[in-house]
Chains A and B, each alone.
Chain A
């Protein structure tokens, strides 16, 4: 295979356009970045023009632009950033959250967006106050399918609910995990439960339960199984031990 093979007939053609000034074509390793200030990502102005008050403030640290936006507008803003031909943030790098050591500071949900066509990087943030309203933000799963597992991990680790996510459940920890959300600052490093209790819970956990034959809606085949097998699989208990 050559390094850049010509597009074969019938193969999906996907041209990346590199518009703008000639300097755009040869990005260089950034050096001597200022701590605060520096050039602002032009998408900030576009966002302000389009969404007005939903863009709360912006911040440039070490050359990276962070935009704080209103919680209920996140999905709309993301959809616009992804599809607008002047923005083209087609790549979602990361979804995560930050909780500060200062208990009064709100939890931040962070989206790292990347525009491959324009070679831009944008960080979106939503602040969720810890008191009062539940920790909820709109899901961006409808915009980028890649958000699926990232949002599930964020829910698993911080307990932030992404409304509109099709299958929001724990991913790295098991579903019956009862100790809380590990990356929260009030969660001790060694966990909430004693070692003995952790062991007891782990042994009592039933990881098969959710994926029994019934859950997977293959009931036709299930109904024809012998009585004892149906009982065993339907209950989701471990087999053959």
Chain B
């Protein structure tokens, strides 16, 4: 097919702008990487702008991993992420499966109960009082239980379950299978895509956990990664007297940013399609 000149110009403009969008998304992250592994003398020499450092040092990472709260915080975050995601998925699936049964008595009541929490909430303070009165303050459960079920994820999973072929359930019931077994052995294997999608959203949520820690945890040994990284970042907010001190601080800060974001950045490209699917599933509902 012969392309007209107009078409060529149009295409080039599209590609250039798209390329710029891609660069705008990735350059800041690459810059953070570069700063975190470049000796600060080199940073200074280049007027601060380095993308491909000639010299590489991992001192900042070594210092962070041996002399700061980062390793402890990393453990806490991993713990919250693993336990939290497991709790999330189990509770969400246990709610979504019964609600996907259209003939369940009082189904609408339970659905309303879930949907209403999307529209109205008691707010930060009353929730804090509940967490406090349960004695959960200053425990990792304070960062897991208050958000154990996201209403939206129940709705996403429920609509996926509704799409499973009814005959499967019928024949399993004929064979005398109990509902728990049906959920575990028939529904779960067929629902891997939605479990993965919903699970990933929960997982990223836990990895990025910040606010429940700020709200409910004062014990510094329980701080998750994001809270500790923010503390490290806040240290430079006060102006420093000599520029000599500033550079290592910045290197250190960027190294901590990298440690906190690397797992997400690394797994994301491989799981992108599941995230995207979740976004679309969610927006069909919403």
A binds B: no
Binding site for B on A (CB under 8 A): none
